Structure 1
Amino acid sequence: MFSVNEIEKMDYNQLIGVVRETNRPPGGMRSIAQIARHGFLSRDSHVLEIGTSTGITAVELAKLVGCRITAIDINEESLVEARRRAEAAGVAHLITFERKDATDTGYPSGHFDMVFCGNVTSLIPDRDKALTEYTRVLKTGGFIGAIPMYYIDVPSDQLVADVRAAIQVDITPLYRDFWIDFFVGADRHEYWLQDYRFDAVPADEVDRFVDDILRRPHLDQLDDDARELLGKRYREQMQLFRVNLSHMGFTTLLVRKEPTDVEPELFTSTAL
């Protein structure tokens, strides 16, 4: 299956493909449902999902709405698991999984009713090029569904360095205003958003979660040394993310592609 050397070189996103973790977007099923509802998805919609990982968002959208989804990722191991999950859920006929780069998809302009990118844009080195591509392939009047994560509390330099090493991306601590300003602009107008903060999760709860994941039968194919290393690295990274997320929040955001600008709403309101 995989050797010790191969596992040693894997980043977090590759490891979750191996253990077949359900890699949900921030906010999980609630966020997926909110994006589907507020973005007016229907059975006639065609969604492009960026960074599908092990496929939970694509599968859930297909189950909730019955729409078509084209789901892309750069990690083939994750795509194998995503296809397996779609088959098991009975929605494989609605989803096309493809290995593609988010900055150069090759899809026609104005092709999709929604581009769902979750938090993956923060992991793309050229995020401006990625956003340009999202906008290009989106129909006029369509939505970009994003769930950017950001720091609420300032992290230590050591924490940021540890997260960089785990995900193998040169991240810089970013905050809410950065991401709103990033997604909103040009032909992209803020349509709906909701802010959240991550709950604190005890360390022993993370350990129980990891123990359950590592008991999955397919991991018996690994030799003892490789399985031990996989368990060690996966546990360390999950505990690291527990600490990191305690400093963070996220925004569930829909922006609409609309070339004609209008004046901002003056008489706003607040829910009671």
Structure 2
Amino acid sequence: MKTLNIDTIQTIKYFPMIGIVKETNRPPGGMTSIRKIAHNAFLNSKKDVLEVGTATGVTAIELAKLTACNITAIDIDDNNLSVARERAEKENVAHLISFENRDATDTKFENKTFDMVFCGNVTSYFDDKIKAIKEYDRVLKDNGLIAAIPMYYINKPSEKLVSEVSDAIDVNISPLYKKDWVDFFNLPGYELVSCEDYAFDNISDNGVKEYVDIIFKQPHLESLEFEVRSALYSRYSYFMHLFRTNLSHMGFSLMLLRKVSSPTEPELFTARALVLE
């Protein structure tokens, strides 16, 4: 925080900003998505989980609290990892989580180390998505699960919006749709266990402002000099309004894929929920 000044704040990108403001950075769908994945995957204290792109650690911490599983959570931002470790200590789950600075496309872990790889939406930010997914596969045990929550466009965005989002996250993105993610994760030796599709809610300007105000009530932000705090508030508010606009065009899927040695035939006699009157 000591290096923040008016000039540097204007150039901060979103991912470093997460650690500065200590945002509770959640996957698409938030805590509900984390809890559904934990439930659908039957996670428990005997499972070893790799979380890719942990940011400030919220997913790893929630999984640890829900299931007591053993988690290795990786990210490439040391400031984010520091915030994550502090949070895990406060939540009394630090003994279950190892926060490490590692490259998701070349983790250096041994083959078949983990029972689950939880990648959320982080794969979206890699230039070589196939390389990242192959790394998930390499470190995953037989019969293990990949938990992915990819975001994708439902409605085509403008070139201007895509350019602004690319600049904000410092990643050159191109519009992807659900079919693209199905293709990315269509790996040999995997079967789709479950897939639930969602669209993001439309958030009002006032809703965005209320959220940003809550973030900036944190003591480490309230104690900043007025001009620095105002500049940081303005920059973070810009990100939130931009992402609100972008997400109004988007949806996401909760995907669980199992690594199998022998695929099973498809089910013929499917069913739907019965509503009795």
Structure 2 length as normaliser, TM-score?
0.94
Question: Aligned with 2:211: secondary structure?
Answer: helix
Q: For residue 74 of structure 1, what is the aligned residue in structure 2?
A: 76
Aligned to 1:124: 126
Deviation of residue 221 (structure 1)? 5.3
Q: Between the two proteins, what is the percent identity of the paired residues?
A: 53
Bigger mean CA deviation after superposition, 157-166 or 137-146: 157-166
Offset of residue 229 of structure 1 = 2.1
TM-superposed deviation, 1:3: 2.3
For 1:101 and 1:6, locate their aligned partners in 2 and report how far apart those are by CA, in whole Å.
26
Distance 1:10 1:191 in 2: 39
Find out whether 1:267 has 2:269 as its counterpart.
yes
Letter in 1 for 2:245: V
Distance 1:270 1:102 in 2: 38
Take 1:6 and 1:263, find their aligned partners in 2: how far apart are those partners? 57
Deviation at 1:220, TM superposition (A): 4.4
Query: Is residue 74–residue 100 contact of structure 2 (8 Å, CA) maintained in 1?
Result: yes
Q: Where does the alignment leave 5 or more consecutive residues of structure 2 unmatched?
A: none
Q: Which residue number corresponds to residue 233 of structure 1?
A: 235
Q: CA deviation at 1:271?
A: 3.2
Q: In 1, Cα distance between the equivalents of 2:76 and 2:128?
A: 15
Of 26, 35, 38 in structure 2, the residue corresponding to residue 36 of structure 1 is: 38
Q: Give the conservation status (yes or no) of the 8 Å contact 1:46–1:67.
A: yes
Equivalent runs, 1:125-204 vs 2, <5 Å: 125-204=127-206
Matches within 5 A, 1:58-137: 58-137=60-139
Q: How many residues are aligned here?
A: 272
- In 2, the alpha carbon distance for the partners of 1:7 and 1:69 equals 33
Write out per-residue CA displacement over residues 89-114 of structure 1, whole angstroms, 9 at most, x where no aligned residue. Answer: 00000000001110010111101000
Give the secondary structure class of the aligned counterpart of 1:9.
coil
| Alignment deviations for residues 183-241 of structure 1 (CA, whole Å, 9 cap, x no partner) | 12212211111111111111111011101212211124544443222111100110011
1:72-95 CA distances to partner (integer Å, 9 max, x unpaired)?
001111111111110000000000
Partner residue, 2:4: 3
* Alpha-carbon separation, structure 2, partners of 1:226 and 1:121: 33
Deviation of the 1:129 alpha carbon: 0.8
Q: Distance in 2 between matches of 1:97 and 1:10?
A: 24
**SS of alignment partner, residue 72 of structure 1:** strand
Structure 1 residue 248 displacement after superposition: 0.7
Inter-partner Cα distance in structure 1 for 2:106 and 2:213: 38
Q: Distance in 1 between matches of 2:81 and 2:224?
A: 20
CA RMSD of aligned residues (A): 1.3
Give, as a single letter, the amino acid of the residue that structure 2 aligns with 1:173: P
In structure 2, distance between residues paired with 1:271 and 1:222: 54
